[in-house]
Structure 1
């Protein structure tokens, strides 16, 4: 096993809260989480060993708080919530793509 070194950094409280939230969702220790983030950065966002990739984006504070309130009510994790929304949107888009050629064929007849 490769020799380990300690890394310490002061970061804003809001960023710290985001780190804690995501590392808990991923069920990682802080060391595992930071190592994962740094490897993704230096290795150019390569797929993780378990075949997953990180998808990250910024939202407004208002939307973030609305999502958090919804998650409290439903008991759903942020990760599961976002994945469900993405999967639903992709299914809808794929369904629309399949229906579009059929509809244009009907119009030409």
Structure 2
């Protein structure tokens, strides 16, 4: 068994609480569905947002999911690099798994597919 990191990102249209929470939940659910994990497999989840998203803590969306209340979560703000993708939420999920690095499926949704087109496939 190894600890692996799974990357994901999603964009939102507006800096609104419900939109941030819904998008965060959607992203986590997609990562779990693509990789077949449950909360017991998860070591931690790091969540970052761009500086233009301050209407909600995205971790609230994950804490509200059944079985996820004990998973360690942390929110942070992305480095504000000029010209970077706006209104973006990124996740780094660390998980105990038998999957190899090549078997892990990273998920990029909505406008975030431009961040890693090599990994985003048809999940937009």
Normalised TM-score (structure 2): 0.22
Structure with higher strand content: 2
Greater fraction helix:
1
Q: RCO higher in 1 or 2 (8 Å CA, sep ≥ 6)? A: 2
